[in-house]
């Protein structure tokens, strides 16, 4: 009986250790060689990408010390909601104090809040919040419609390839990111102004109607795109359900 | 007997009890397995998730317990995915982010029509997570990663879709980077994917370039031009030496493709060359890398950053005079430059050199052995698959056929160590690092950006067994390529001017400039003549415009006659509305409509003092440019007149369209001159 117990003990020990060995903890092999006091975004924030694809620009963050100079060798870790992956997920800052990572926002469309994290010498945590947007199929269709029909008037930014018409208009159109204005408009109102033009909502006739040019599905796609990129974010009105 | 029985099984009653118990347990195995199955667990979790929501009753009513199945015999689809993915069709679950309960994103198809595996792959009939998503043993294709999802659209949709930019790009790259020169890709409709690049013929290369440049180019094409589509064959110094020796030795001269410099050529102002380069809109097709490293310009022709190091001056002079002497099929127009203009451009382009490029290239005169070895290498590397080389035949099926590469069985693939055993992973690795699969492989190294690799992988993944086997009725075919050829003198002229490099007519041609299929119904003859003589811009916001070709009067008449006669729409008679003589009241009504009801000034300018919109063409002289009937029909339905135009259809009534036409027809070029006076 005693021997049996002992064998059982040994066997369970073997299994236990085998089970433990399979799960190496997320221990970062990187050891910071220096510490900073502040974390700033260099580039790559507020991008608009597509689901399932790596964002066009890498996210670059910089670690600075109290004096505001760049720190080399500080450990920065990136994290985000489930589905988001970083390549690399953590690393040491380079000689200019920067670390760059490529972001894949996963398969679900939406607005993602990501976090970059580093520690000070006193092990105090410093965090930087970065926001990125992933467009789903419908929003990508909307994005392309915006690019073809809307952006020249609704986007004041001119590029060498595409000059903006914004400055030429007596009544200024709203940028599609202008959440303060557009979020107050219901889906029906947006559909009306896109389909029937400005006069449908007693606004300027400089906004022409697109209801005979775009299909219903296309207008829906355009609105779903506008809703997703709006800043501040758009929250659907009506019933709000508990998450859990 | 009974004692033996008893020693084996104990007391009969107890034995009976034990056996009954065992039987009972074994009978319970099946129901227990069913009860504790993975899918039941997910269905229970779904019900728990739904219970607390405001629309629980609706969601519960939509829910069906047990294994769910979509069966589509035509598509060979048997999918049980909806057993666990319960809320796919529930629009109100938009806020749920936990799988498997998310709502499916809005797409043009439903799972009832196409099932799940048609797009996502995986093992449809499986009812466990592992088997459905990841199994590569029983079912060769695991779930397709989201980044390649557009490939699935390409199985049925053969033409470019607006919703699949990545697939379109990938298909484009297959032609543009000449993949299909070596790899045959047969389409289910019987055709093949055709290359769209135009690799230069090497039969007369000695007239054009030096052996030193060929050597440097062969060693690293991207060192000469970052946008070069020619891949790097990773040739050794010796190989590059011998191939360059063969190409020069094999080259035959073309009469008239070189023009020596004349003695009385004066020194020219280098800045004048730069402005002529700009005025001729060379940058619409050719790119140049600027000091900041950015490549600026079009990609129809080759990059010119270091052109001075590549071409011989006597060749460039002849080329600028008439490119069709050296290459009759070139996309470059025959500009009809004067000697003075050619000298200016020569001076400008000749300065675009890079002293580092050929600094370390020292080649001795080639030996016959080197030339013979060069020929052998050229054959071995399949150079003639892309380039025309005199004396060499284009090899057939030089590389493996890729017609069904998207369904390639895993067992036929030799993966690299540490590589996930999936087809997408194999294809993308092969595109990124072809030689890592074996040093003896001939596939060259391309310098694709990550997005291009993903796009190419997507395009190749769409070449599946399913795509080949699909009934034709279920596919959306692409438009057959047009080989439209204008006839007669004008046809020859249009070929000489390479009109199709920028303009499309009857389905053939580029998209840089407007489609001219119905140009004859659209414009007035005098305007067209004047425009061909001296093309001015119609759209102030555009940086590209038609270059000036120094056409002779006779050539202009030939072109105008042809365009006005042949390129007419059957939809209406060009002369059905008069070009002048409209009642002042109607004109005034049109002006009112233009500025108030239709607010056309947001995009068009009719009065340069007041109007500012410059999205559409300037209309200050539109009455001298366009036909009244064209304007009227355009206003009624712009998309029918020119598919894809961004001018919105206003659903205009006849009266308004007539009044606007009357107003616009009064905007003549002469009336503007009178106003100035």
Contact B108 A144 (CB under 8 A): no
Q: Which of B474, B507, B537 is the last residue of a domain?
A: B474
pTM of the model as a whole:
0.86
**Residue A204 at interface with chain B, using a CB cutoff of 8 Å:** yes
Check whether residue A158 and residue A90 sit in a common domain: no
**Residues spanned by the domain of B661:** 584-676
Tally the domains of chain A: 2
Q: For residue A136, give the nearest of B95, B105, B650 by CB distance.
A: B105
Check whether residue B557 and residue B605 sit in a common domain: no
Per-residue pLDDT reduced to its tens digit, B580-602: 889 999 999 999 999 999 999 99
Instruction: Note the pLDDT of residue B38.
Output: 87
- Contacts A210 to B, Cβ<8 Å: 648
Percent of chain B topping pLDDT 90: 53
Check whether residue A131 and residue A49 sit in a common domain: yes
Check whether residue A59 and residue A146 sit in a common domain: no
A22 domain residue, yes or no: no
Q: At B12, is the pLDDT very low, low, confident or very high (cuts 50, 70, 90)?
A: confident
B234 domain residue, yes or no: yes
Instruction: Note the pLDDT of residue A9.
Output: 58
Contacts with B, A 59-118, CB within 8 Å: 81-82, 104, 106-109
**Residues spanned by the domain of A202:** 137-229
Contact A168 B613 (CB under 8 A): yes
Q: Are A237 and A189 in contact (CB under 8 A)?
A: no
**CA torsion B196→B199→B203→B209, rounded to 10°?**
150
B356 domain residue, yes or no: yes
A172 domain residue, yes or no: yes
B394 domain residue, yes or no: no
Q: Which of A111, A135, A159 is the last residue of a domain?
A: A135
CA–CA distance, B467 with B152 (Å, rounded to integer): 9
Check whether residue A97 and residue A172 sit in a common domain: no
- Contacts B90 to A, Cβ<8 Å: none
CA–CA distance, B629 with B83 (Å, rounded to integer): 60
pLDDT at B676 over 50: no
SS (H, E, C) B500-539: HHCCEECCEECCCCCCCCCHHHHECHHHHHHHHHCCCCCC
The string of DSSP letters for chain A reads -HHHHHHHHHHHHHHHHHHHHH----------S---SEEEEEE--S-EEETTSB-SS-EEEEEE-TTS-B-SS-EEEEE-STT-EEESSEEE--TTSEEEEEEE--SS-EEEEEEEEEE-TT--EEEEEEEEEEE-HHHHHHHHHIIIIIHHHH-----SSS---GGG-SSPPPPTTBHHHHTTS-HHHHHHHHHH-GGGGT--TTS---TTTS-HHHHHHHHHHHHHH-BSPP---S------
CA–CA distance, B350 with B320 (Å, rounded to integer): 12
Check whether residue A62 and residue A141 sit in a common domain: no
Contact B541 A165 (CB under 8 A): yes
Tally the domains of chain B: 6
How buried is B8 (Cβ within 10 angstroms: 0-12 exposed, 13-18 middle, 19+ buried)? Answer: exposed
Check whether residue B263 and residue B287 sit in a common domain: yes
Q: Where is pLDDT greater, at B562 or B89?
A: B562
Check whether residue B53 and residue B116 sit in a common domain: yes
Instruction: Note the pLDDT of residue A239.
Output: 43
What is the rounded end-to-end Cα distance, in angstroms, of chain A?
Answer: 50
Instruction: Note the pLDDT of residue B264.
Output: 58
Per-residue pLDDT reduced to its tens digit, B369-427: 999 999 999 999 999 999 999 988 888 888 999 999 998 888 888 888 888 888 999 99
Q: How far A173 CA lies from chain B's nearest CA (Å)?
A: 11
**Residue A151 at interface with chain B, using a CB cutoff of 8 Å:** no
B3-23 mean pLDDT: 83
CATH number of the domain within which A50 lies? 2.60.40.10
CA–CA distance, A168 with B235 (Å, rounded to integer): 56
Q: At B57, is the pLDDT very low, low, confident or very high (cuts 50, 70, 90)?
A: confident
pLDDT mean values, one per 10 residues, chain A (244 residues): 57 52 52 87 90 89 90 91 88 91 88 91 89 91 93 86 84 91 91 94 92 94 93 68 38
Instruction: Note the pLDDT of residue A244.
Output: 32
B638 domain residue, yes or no: yes
Check whether residue B213 and residue B253 sit in a common domain: yes
């Amino acid at each position: 009986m005693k021997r049996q117990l002992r064998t059982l003990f040994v066997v369970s020990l073997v299994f236990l250790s085998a089970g433990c060995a399979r799960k190496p903890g997320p221990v970062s092999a990187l050891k910071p060689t220096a510490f900073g006091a502040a974390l700033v975004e260099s580039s790559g924030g507020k991008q608009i990408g597509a689901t399932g694809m790596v964002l066009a620009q890498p996210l670059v963050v910089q670690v600075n010390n109290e004096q505001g100079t760049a720190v080399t060798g500080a450990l920065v870790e990136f994290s985000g909601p489930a589905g988001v992956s970083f390549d690399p997920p953590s690393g040491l800052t380079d000689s200019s104090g920067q670390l760059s990572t490529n972001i894949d926002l996963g398969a679900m469309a939406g607005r993602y809040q990501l976090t970059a994290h580093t520690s000070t010498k006193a092990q105090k945590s410093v965090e930087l919040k970065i926001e990125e947007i992933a467009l789903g199929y419908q929003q990508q269709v909307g994005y392309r419609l915006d690019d073809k029909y809307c952006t020249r008037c609704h986007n004041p930014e001119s590029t060498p390839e595409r000059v903006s018409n914004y400055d030429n208009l007596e009544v200024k159109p709203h940028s599609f990111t202008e959440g303060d204005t557009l979020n107050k408009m219901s889906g029906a109102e947006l559909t009306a102004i896109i389909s029937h033009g400005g006069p449908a909502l007693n606004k300027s006739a400089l906004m022409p109607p697109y209801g005979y040019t775009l299909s219903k599905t296309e207008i829906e796609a355009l609105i779903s795109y506008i809703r997703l990129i709006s800043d501040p974010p758009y929250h659907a009105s009506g019933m709000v359900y508990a998450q859990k | 007997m009974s004692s033996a029985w008893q020693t084996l099984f104990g007391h009969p009653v107890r034995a009976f009890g034990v056996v009954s118990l065992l039987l009972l347990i074994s009978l319970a195995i099946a129901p227990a397995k069913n009860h504790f199955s993975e899918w039941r667990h997910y269905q229970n979790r779904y019900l728990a998730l739904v219970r607390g929501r405001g629309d629980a009753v609706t969601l519960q009513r939509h829910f069906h317990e047990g294994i769910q199945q979509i069966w589509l015999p035509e598509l060979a689809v048997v999918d049980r995915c909806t057993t666990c993915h319960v809320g796919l069709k529930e629009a109100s679950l938009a806020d749920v982010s936990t799988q498997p309960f998310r709502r499916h994103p809005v797409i043009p198809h439903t799972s009832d029509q196409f099932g799940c595996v048609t797009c996502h792959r995986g093992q449809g009939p499986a009812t466990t997570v592992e088997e459905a998503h990841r199994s590569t043993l029983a079912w060769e294709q695991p779930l397709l990663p989201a980044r390649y999802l557009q490939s699935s659209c390409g199985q049925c949709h053969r033409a470019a879709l607006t919703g699949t930019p990545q697939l379109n790009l990938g298909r484009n790259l297959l032609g543009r980077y000449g993949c299909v020169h070596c790899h045959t890709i047969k389409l289910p409709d019987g055709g093949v994917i055709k290359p769209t690049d135009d690799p230069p013929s090497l039969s007369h290369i000695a007239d054009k370039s030096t052996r030193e440049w060929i050597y440097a180019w062969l060693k690293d094409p991207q060192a000469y031009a970052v946008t070069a589509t020619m891949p790097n064959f990773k040739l050794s110094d010796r190989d590059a030496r011998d191939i360059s020796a063969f190409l020069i030795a094999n080259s035959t001269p073309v009469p008239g493709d070189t023009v020596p410099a004349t003695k009385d050529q004066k020194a020219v102002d280098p800045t004048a060359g730069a402005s002529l380069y700009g005025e001729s809109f060379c940058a619409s097709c050719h790119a140049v890398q600027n000091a900041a490293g950015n490549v600026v310009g079009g990609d129809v022709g080759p990059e010119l950053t270091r052109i001075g190091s590549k071409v011989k001056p006597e060749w460039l002079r002849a080329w600028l005079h008439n490119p069709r002497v050296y290459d009759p099929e070139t996309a470059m127009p025959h500009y009809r430059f004067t000697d003075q203009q050619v000298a200016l451009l020569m001076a400008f382009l000749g300065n675009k050199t890079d002293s580092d490029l050929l600094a370390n290239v020292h080649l001795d005169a080639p030996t016959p052995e080197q030339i013979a070895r060069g020929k052998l290498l050229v054959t071995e590397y399949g150079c003639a698959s892309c380039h025309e080389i005199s004396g060499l035949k284009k090899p057939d099926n030089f590389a493996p056929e890729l017609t069904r590469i998207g369904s390639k069985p895993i067992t036929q693939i030799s993966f690299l160590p540490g590589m996930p055993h999936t087809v997408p992973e194999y294809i993308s690795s092969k595109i990124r690092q072809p030689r890592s699969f074996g040093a003896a492989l001939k596939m060259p190294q391309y310098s694709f950006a990550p997005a291009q690799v993903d796009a190419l992988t997507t395009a190749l993944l769409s070449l599946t067994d399913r795509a080949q086997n699909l009934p034709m009725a279920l596919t959306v075919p692409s438009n057959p390529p047009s080989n439209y050829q204008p006839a007669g003198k004008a046809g020859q002229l249009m070929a000489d001017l390479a009109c199709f490099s920028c303009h499309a007519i009857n389905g053939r041609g580029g998209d840089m400039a407007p489609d001219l299929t119905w140009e004859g119904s659209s414009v007035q003859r005098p305007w067209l003549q004047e425009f061909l003589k001296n093309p001015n811009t119609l759209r102030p916001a555009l940086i590209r415009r038609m270059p000036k070709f120094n056409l002779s009067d006779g050539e202009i008449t030939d072109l105008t006659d042809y365009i006005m006669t042949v390129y007419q729409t059957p939809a209406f008679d060009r002369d059905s509305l008069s070009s002048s003589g409209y009642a002042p009241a109607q004109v005034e009504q049109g002006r009112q409509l233009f500025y108030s009801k239709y607010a056309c000034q947001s995009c068009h300018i009719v009065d340069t003092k007041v109007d500012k919109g410059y999205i559409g063409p300037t209309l200050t002289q539109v009455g001298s440019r366009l036909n009244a009937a064209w304007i009227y029909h355009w206003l009624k339905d712009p998309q029918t007149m020119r598919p894809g135009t961004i001018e919105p259809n206003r659903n205009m009534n006849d009266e308004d369209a007539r009044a606007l036409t009357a107003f616009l027809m009064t905007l003549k070029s002469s009336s503007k001159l009178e106003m100035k006076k």
